Amino acid sequence: MISVEALRIEYGRGRRRTLAVEEVSFRVEDGESVALIGPSGCGKTSVLLAIDGIIRPTSGRIIIRGEEVRGVRRDVAFITQDAGLLPWKTVRQNAELALRLQRRPREGIQEILRSLGLGGFENRYPAELSEGMRRRVGIARALALRPEVFLMDEPMANLDTLTRERIQEIILRLWHMYRFTGLLVTHDIEEAVFLGQRIIILSPRPARVVEVIENPGMGEAEYRRSEEFYRVVVRAREILKSLEEK
């Protein structure tokens, strides 16, 4: 379980001080998938970086599985829109990289690569892959750690629509398989509704929680074509539009 309590994040000092996040509180239960959306530059990524322990909040606290976050944890995986692959290493070597750095056993990599449609590409280099496949290698590297918590910062950004939807469906399938606790930051409303059991909407900077939309229909690939899906999308869009008009 992730508990974010009265989170406040400031950058800089004095006249250059910028308040990015103000009094943000929410919870993500064990095995739950939650999406975080809001206007561009509102502080979504700052919240995610604080949960991962990469940055320290100005005040407030974050608790993961009963322990306060004071640095990067081994049971948390972070996926960004830039897969961060090393061009001189193969698909398999990139997927194993985090395990090697942590000196952990490298078992199960082949199964993970197959589950992501990367079987047969183990010895290819990033330059030989499509952008969508490179993103999947980044997901494989995170999955290899068998994390309890998956943090995702725009992992499907700048992909074409069909590739984006395929990777969304892969992430959904992996969530069903591993039941990790997932928190997704995205600008894409439909993506948030497809992958979030709850959608947390943040205000323009400094980020505050404006509304939380329950999305119980989430969980199947066919949900994307249902009336309920479009109802939730419209509601989220109306809230975001109202924030821009204020």
Asked if 126 and 200 sit in the same domain, the reply is no
245 pLDDT tier (thresholds 50, 70, 90)? low
- Chain segment 12-47, per-residue pLDDT in tens: 877 778 899 999 999 999 999 999 999 988 889 999
Helices (H), 59-205: 91-101, 109-115, 131-143, 161-178, 189-195
Asked if 158 and 236 sit in the same domain, the reply is yes
Domain carrying residue 163: 2-75+149-245
pLDDT for position 246: 63
Asked if 216 and 166 sit in the same domain, the reply is yes
106 pLDDT tier (thresholds 50, 70, 90)? low
Percentage of the chain surpassing pLDDT 70? 98
Asked if 28 and 54 sit in the same domain, the reply is yes
Asked if 49 and 126 sit in the same domain, the reply is no
Most confident of 31-35, 71-75, 151-155, 173-177: 31-35
Asked if 154 and 141 sit in the same domain, the reply is no
Q: What's the structural domain count of the chain?
A: 2
Asked if 174 and 188 sit in the same domain, the reply is yes
246, 163, 161, 159: which is closest to 210 by C-alpha? 246
Asked if 115 and 190 sit in the same domain, the reply is no
The pTM assigned to this predicted structure is: 0.90
150 φ/ψ sector (left φ>0, alpha ψ -120 to 50, else beta): beta
Asked if 159 and 46 sit in the same domain, the reply is yes
Does 111 score more than 70 pLDDT?
A: yes
Asked if 169 and 237 sit in the same domain, the reply is yes
